[in-house]
Amino acid sequence: MTINKPRPAPNSIDETLAMLTGEDYVADRALATVLYLSLKMKRPLFLEGEAGVGKTEIAKVLASGLGRRLIRLQCYEGLDVSSAVYEWNYAAQMIEIRMEEAAGKVDRKDMEKNVFSEKYLIRRPVLEALTGKDGAAPVFLIDELDRTDEAFEAFLLEILSDYQVTVPELGTIKAEEPPIVIITTNRTREIHDALKRRCLYHWVDYPNAERELEIVNRKVPQANKRLSEEVVRFVQKLREIELFKVPGVAETIDWASALTELDKVALDPETVSDTIGVLLKYQDDIARIEQGEGRRILKEVKADLATAAE
């Protein structure tokens, strides 16, 4: 990815909205407001929402919109300091020790300084995120925080309050300018209030029909106009019934492009049941839609579109 020249943060909610739209991210005003505030107040943004509503995308769009570097920390169970913050290059350190021994150096202080120098430091995402220069702080995406455990959350708390990390052998590393932090979670676990308190909170919801249609139009421009309208209405109706997992925006986009690849210009019952696997990922849900409920929804969608056209 080519890195554009860093741009300063937008100066109003409208500018923020324009920046998001310019990057093909169709946002509502609520999101633009909270994003603007987090940029201005230099507070981390805590995004919560179901899978596939475009949480991670916000960070990507922000990075390219502001021309900043995107540093991503994908969380997983057991994430620890050595894979999140820094690690020493042990093999190289041992060689260094052997070399100094062979050269006959005996000064302990000197050796310690050489062995634990920046040369052998492997920077991981957190440390990387703290190296932003003035006016060009990177976007630091902490993805799916709920996947990691409480221990890492507590560690994060420390970083997010001071934006500094202490490497015992080197000293404290402090960010010249704090990174733009975006935290996402899918709510598979409750995040502790102490961490949430330091952030601005936003619940990313499913978009309404109008906004979702615009998203599909932007992301799958080659899709037939009628097809995308039907797809969006169908998905919106699916979200109203009680499914184990309702489809997100990502699934809508996938479905629209899948149908376009199949050269479809409109939905019909066979196509829906053939491609429903793109939308729904649980067997119970699929069975339910195939057992007639899908046909009913499709009929409603067609009727709605017919009345809308009149």
Partner 1 sequence: MTSANPDGRIADNIVYFARALRKAGMRVGPASVKDAIEAVLVAGIGSRDDFYWVLHSVLVMRHEDHAVFDEAFRLFWKSRELVEKLIAMFSPVAPDKREKQKPRAAESRVSDAMFEGHKRNQPVNPEPDIEIDARFTVSGAEVLRAKDFAQMTAAEINQAKRAIAELKLPFDKTKTRRFKPDPHGSRIDPRAMMRAASRTGGELILPKFKSLREIHPPLVVLADISGSMSQYTRIFLHFLHALADKRRRVHTFVFGTRLTNLTRQMRHRDPDQAMADCSAAVQDWSGGTRIGDTLHEFNRLWSRRVLGQGAIVLLITDGLERDEIDGLSEEIERLHKSCRRLIWLNPLLRFDGFEPRARGVRTMLPHVDEFRAVHNLAALTDLVASLDKSTSRQADPRRWLELGKKRAA
Question: Which positions lie near partner 1, rule CB under 8 A?
Answer: 13, 29-30, 33-34, 36-38, 40-41, 43, 48, 76-78, 80, 82, 87-88, 90, 93-94, 97, 100-101, 106, 108, 111-112, 115-116, 146-147, 149-151, 169, 186-190, 193, 196-197, 200-203, 242, 244, 284
Which of 3, 30 has the CB closer to partner 1? 30
Q: Which is nearer to partner 1, 23 or 87 (CB)?
A: 87
78 vs 292 by CB, closer to partner 1: 78
Would you say 133 or 192 has its CB closer to partner 1? 192
Shortest Å, Cβ 145 to partner 1: 12
Cβ 218 to partner 1 shortest distance, Å: 23
Nearer to partner 1, 197 or 226 (CB): 197
As measured in angstroms, the least distance from the Cβ of 183 to partner 1 is 13
The full 3-state SS of the chain, as one line of letters, equals CCCCCCCCCCCCHHHHHHHHHHCCCCCCHHHHHHHHHHHHHCCCEEEECCCCCCHHHHHHHHHHHHCCCEEEEECCCCCCHHHHCEEECHHHHHHHHHHHHHHCCCCHHHHHHHHCCHHHEEECHHHHHCCCCCCCCCEEEEECHHHCCHHHHHHHHHHHHHCEEEECCCEEEECCCCCEEEEEECCCCCCCHHHHHCCEEEECCCCCHHHHHHHHHHHCCCCCHHHHHHHHHHHHHHHHCCCCCCCCHHHHHHHHHHHHHCCCCCCCHHHHHHHHHHHCCCHHHHHHHHHHHHHHHHHHHHHHHHHHHC
Closest CB to partner 1 among 3 and 94?
A: 94
Least Å distance, CB 302 to partner 1, is: 29
- Minimum CB distance to partner 1, residue 228 (Å): 28
Residue 36 CB, nearest distance to partner 1 (Å)?
Answer: 7
